Structure 1
Amino acid sequence: MTPLASPPTRSFKAVAPVIALCWLAVFFDGMDVNIYGAVIPHLLDDPDLGFSPGKAGTVGSWTTFGMLIGALATGTLTDWLGRKPLVTVSVVLFSLGSALCAAAPDVTVFAAGRFLSGLGLGGLMPIGLALVAEFAPPRRAALATGLMMTSYHAGGMAATGIGLVVAPDHGWRWVFWAGVLPAVIAVPLVVKWLPESPGVLFAKGRTEQAYAVADRYGLDRPGEADVPSTGAKGRMAAIGDLFAPGTRGATPLLWIASFAGLLLVYGVSTWLPELMRASGYSLSSSVTFLMVINAGGILGMLVAGRTADRFGPVKVSAIWFLLTAAGAFLLRAHLPLGVAYVVVFITGVWLFSAQVMVYATTARVYGPSRRATGLGWVTGVGRTGAVVGPWLGGMVIADGNASLGFTTFAVAAVLAAAAISLVPLAQRTRPHAAPGPKTALAGATD
């Protein structure tokens, strides 16, 4: 059987089930990541665990260290084992990690639970991004990515709400028991309804099934040039290809942007309540700031996605990072509570979507056969920033200097803006052109 010359037109309606399932999985990802930041004040006040700001920062870094390993491993293994099985494994892992935290008798066991959660959390994100980039209409890929990532912040808001409602009356442990829900809700739906990548199916020799999935969702039928290489040598070649002509200059810049961006994202997600409390706000108000910044993140994803489809994700990411730096700098001052809520909300609009546009750029820089590997390594190397962010925030909080904390995050935002701005200059060729008057890569580097 030969590929169709012109596949059915791809539309959001056709791929809505894929985006919806990815949305649900990443919702629980965001909930699990933000649960920790939402209950840190309660963990610090629990004498039985023996938490201190320094230890809390270290535990946060163990979480992101697990995410680093999960992202690097999954970004490579998904081309071999498939997207669907690894989505399932990732959700199960962070659900089990949450259960271990809920039952933890001390800091050591708690840290082990967060590390286990990190493995699943880090593994899920690059797969979800790769699936959305593969199935979404090419000219709406950035919007689809932003739409999917609204779920991360909806999950963050849910975690904050659970922390505010449950933790004061029932204790922080019940908040982590809520983190077991993904295994109960999302896994059965993913197993039943999430399609496998046609490219992966084709690489495994399941040609008829690959063509059937491609036809159902309006994708091009895969050919030899569009599928990942198999075997250990193929996986190593996929990593080496990240430094092939046309991408060798962009790859380290994407890594730097992701490092600085994720330092910012996870530093703020972990420490914003404590930074605001150190600035003189009440405990309840400080935790509420986490919900407010995630609400801004949801709006930001939709705005950034539509804007990036028109002007390119590089421009949007760079400008958004600079606006984030301005917001973080403003928060150094003790603002009136209402003004502080507005500044935090607006900063959330820029902060999270700036990092997601790094991913949208990555999805366009690398071709279909290397996209999952490229996203895995950009998110994985970026996780070193996610490891540093919570640790660095803990060190600053331990010294009682909230102003320095906001300044540190502002500097990280400027570094990310500089790195992503240089990606177009590093591009020498424009392979993997998408159909239409403007190539997919051109959209990334405009």
Structure 2
Amino acid sequence: MSPSTALPARGGARLALLVVGLCWLVVLFDGLDMFIYGSVLPHMLETKALGIDPSKAGDVGSYATFGMLIGALSSGTVSDWVGRKKTIIVSTAVFSLASALCASANSLDTFSLGRFLAGLGLGGLLPSAITLVTEYAPRGRGALVVGSLMTAHQTGGIVAAFVAKWTGDWRTSFWICVIPLFIGVPLAAKYLPESMAFLQAKGRDRDALALADRYGVDLAAKDKARQAAGERWSALAALFRGRLWVQTLFFWLASFGGLLLVYGVSQWLPSMMRAAGYDLGSSLNFVIVINLGGIVGMLIGGRLTDKFGGSRIAAIWFGATAIGVYLLSVHMPLALTYIVVFLTGLFLFSAQAMIYATVAARADAENRATAVGWVSGMGRFGAVFGPWLGGQLLATGSNSAGFVAFAIAGVFSLVFVSLTGLRSVRSTPNTEVPKQLATTG
């Protein structure tokens, strides 16, 4: 089969659907594992399970996000080295096995170790999955595909709340989080295709050709001058060439505030709402509602980003998030609170997802995984700080301090994502991706 600059629409669409579907499944499991701790935390605090209190709970949450920091920073480089598929499989196996350690823990130290190890897998999975679906996305639909993928994360949050309500026991909830080891890992190992761009960059032309033949698509002509750029460290150095270092730095800072928000609110929302006077059932319902809003926001945000540009939409989204989180500090009628929680979720999660989509779209094929991995990884510093900050503020007895602090983080991200360029930048992958993987849709 001779190289071509376009995919047949039918074959390309079938391949893209397979990649997005399998990545959606493993990202759902990622979301389940990430949100389960926050969902069971109110019960653990009430029963003082393993001797936990609000301050220690914040520390445990930070251990998990510190693991995510390491996982995210290394995943892009590792993925550009060994491949997207292997990174996704190993990451899923790691956080599944770590959940088994949490479920069987007899001390808070062991439980904390389990959450740290889970963080390594959780941090490694998401950048690799985003990179892979971006590379197989139809032309001009990159942000929409990433947004669709990220609905799995919020669906996992909804499942986590239902698991916590259904089991009423934190150990059983964590045992349920071991299920991905027996479902997600085997399915990904058997059916998930490797990135064609990665295969060609590594000189594995025969494997790339076999994959293309299997799904009836054509390969792009390989750019010989760029083959060596996918090496592990040169891909990172490419993010700082010329004036790119300014854009890279601003995206990292915006991601810091964004993940501080995502992980701080995700972990502490049930407990903060509980402290504000809502009962445990309502507090868990808020987790379901905020994630439902997140699903809607991913789809809306992804479509708007493809049309108007990621920096612009992310800036608006962060501003709306700051307003919504601040309003939660005001005690309102329950029905109105649900509406505010839903709208906050609509903007909260998709704002960060649009940063990923924009970075993936602006990066070159040979360093895309590294670019996404590092913007996610630098944001994990915020993810480490957010849960710790929430625990410290909740321990003071203030019902509003946490909401105010997280609202300020939203303003922080608004400023820096705006500085990456408010002009309309269409989130279309660079020419290497449409040539190889785009459909006409």
What is the TM-score normalised by the length of structure 1? 0.92
Summarize the Cα distance change of 1:434–1:202 in structure 2 as closer, same or farther, 3 Å threshold. closer
Q: Which runs of 5+ in 1 are unaligned?
A: 437-446
Q: Percent identity?
A: 49
Answer 1 or 2: higher relative contact order, Cα 8 Å, separation at least 6.
2
Deviations 1:126-156 (A, max 9, x none): 0000001100012011110000100000011
Which of 407-416 and 46-55 deviates more? Answer: 46-55
Is residue 9 of structure 2 the alignment partner of residue 4 of structure 1?
no
Displacement of 1:47 in angstroms is 3.6
Q: Does the Cα contact within 8 Å between 1:321 and 1:354 map onto a contact in 2? A: yes
| Counterpart Cα distance in 2 of 1:387 and 1:214 | 41
2:200 to 194, 199, 202: 202
What is the TM-score normalised by the length of structure 2? 0.93
Q: Does the Cα contact within 8 Å between 1:64 and 1:386 map onto a contact in 2? A: yes
What does 1:147-158 correspond to in 2, within 5 Å?
A: 147-158=148-159
Query: Counterpart amino acid of 1:265?
Result: V
Deviations 1:78-135 (A, max 9, x none): 1111111111100000001100000000110000000010000000000000001100
2:407 to 406, 410, 422: 410
Report the 3-state secondary structure (helix = DSSP H, G, I; strand = E; otherwise coil) of the residue aligned with 2:397: coil
| Counterpart Cα distance in 2 of 1:289 and 1:326 | 17
Deviations 1:280-321 (A, max 9, x none): 111111121111100110111111111111111211111011
Query: Counterpart amino acid of 2:255?
Result: S
| Counterpart Cα distance in 2 of 1:109 and 1:62 | 12
Q: State the partner residue of 1:248.
A: 245
Summarize the Cα distance change of 1:225–1:348 in structure 2 as closer, same or farther, 3 Å threshold. farther
How many residues are matched?
429
Q: State the partner residue of 2:220.
A: 221
Displacement of 1:214 in angstroms is 4.5
Is residue 91 of structure 2 the alignment partner of residue 94 of structure 1?
no
| Counterpart Cα distance in 2 of 1:181 and 1:360 | 29
Query: Counterpart amino acid of 1:263?
Result: L
Summarize the Cα distance change of 1:222–1:156 in structure 2 as closer, same or farther, 3 Å threshold. farther
| Counterpart Cα distance in 2 of 1:246 and 1:213 | 37
1:328 to 325, 329, 333: 325
| Counterpart Cα distance in 1 of 2:221 and 2:27 | 27
Summarize the Cα distance change of 1:357–1:425 in structure 2 as closer, same or farther, 3 Å threshold. closer
Q: Does the Cα contact within 8 Å between 1:198 and 1:221 map onto a contact in 2? A: no
| Counterpart Cα distance in 2 of 1:246 and 1:9 | 37
Q: Does the Cα contact within 8 Å between 2:141 and 2:428 map onto a contact in 1? A: no
Deviations 1:48-77 (A, max 9, x none): 510010000000000000000001111101
Is residue 318 of structure 2 the alignment partner of residue 318 of structure 1?
no
Q: State the partner residue of 1:441.
A: none
1:306 to 297, 303, 306: 303
Is residue 44 of structure 2 the alignment partner of residue 43 of structure 1?
yes
Which of 43-52 and 278-287 deviates more? Answer: 43-52
Aligned structure 1 segments of 4 or more residues deviating by more than 6 angstroms: none
| Counterpart Cα distance in 2 of 1:28 and 1:432 | 27
Is residue 292 of structure 2 the alignment partner of residue 295 of structure 1?
yes
| Counterpart Cα distance in 2 of 1:412 and 1:308 | 22
1:211 to 195, 209, 212: 209
1:350 to 313, 330, 347: 347
Q: Does the Cα contact within 8 Å between 2:361 and 2:430 map onto a contact in 1? A: no
Q: State the partner residue of 2:121.
A: 120
Q: State the partner residue of 1:63.
A: 64
Displacement of 1:7 in angstroms is 3.7
| Counterpart Cα distance in 2 of 1:122 and 1:264 | 16
Summarize the Cα distance change of 1:203–1:280 in structure 2 as closer, same or farther, 3 Å threshold. same
Q: Does the Cα contact within 8 Å between 2:4 and 2:221 map onto a contact in 1? A: no
Summarize the Cα distance change of 1:14–1:283 in structure 2 as closer, same or farther, 3 Å threshold. same
Q: Does the Cα contact within 8 Å between 2:146 and 2:357 map onto a contact in 1? A: yes
Report the 3-state secondary structure (helix = DSSP H, G, I; strand = E; otherwise coil) of the residue aligned with 1:248: helix
Which of 311-320 and 104-113 deviates more? Answer: 311-320
Q: Does the Cα contact within 8 Å between 1:211 and 1:222 map onto a contact in 2? A: no
Q: Does the Cα contact within 8 Å between 2:274 and 2:283 map onto a contact in 1? A: yes
| Counterpart Cα distance in 1 of 2:171 and 2:37 | 11
| Counterpart Cα distance in 2 of 1:112 and 1:329 | 33
| Counterpart Cα distance in 1 of 2:347 and 2:216 | 32
Report the 3-state secondary structure (helix = DSSP H, G, I; strand = E; otherwise coil) of the residue aligned with 1:242: helix
Q: Does the Cα contact within 8 Å between 1:264 and 1:389 map onto a contact in 2? A: yes
Is residue 420 of structure 2 the alignment partner of residue 419 of structure 1?
no
Report the 3-state secondary structure (helix = DSSP H, G, I; strand = E; otherwise coil) of the residue aligned with 2:24: helix
Summarize the Cα distance change of 1:225–1:130 in structure 2 as closer, same or farther, 3 Å threshold. farther
| Counterpart Cα distance in 1 of 2:28 and 2:354 | 18
Summarize the Cα distance change of 1:220–1:425 in structure 2 as closer, same or farther, 3 Å threshold. farther
Q: State the partner residue of 1:280.
A: 277
Q: State the partner residue of 1:269.
A: 266
| Counterpart Cα distance in 2 of 1:431 and 1:138 | 7
Is residue 105 of structure 2 the alignment partner of residue 108 of structure 1?
no
Is residue 148 of structure 2 the alignment partner of residue 184 of structure 1?
no
Query: Counterpart amino acid of 1:160?
Result: A
Q: Does the Cα contact within 8 Å between 2:71 and 2:121 map onto a contact in 1? A: yes
Displacement of 1:402 in angstroms is 2.2
Q: State the partner residue of 1:159.
A: 160
Displacement of 1:190 in angstroms is 0.2
| Counterpart Cα distance in 2 of 1:219 and 1:263 | 42
Is residue 254 of structure 2 the alignment partner of residue 257 of structure 1?
yes
| Counterpart Cα distance in 2 of 1:312 and 1:425 | 8
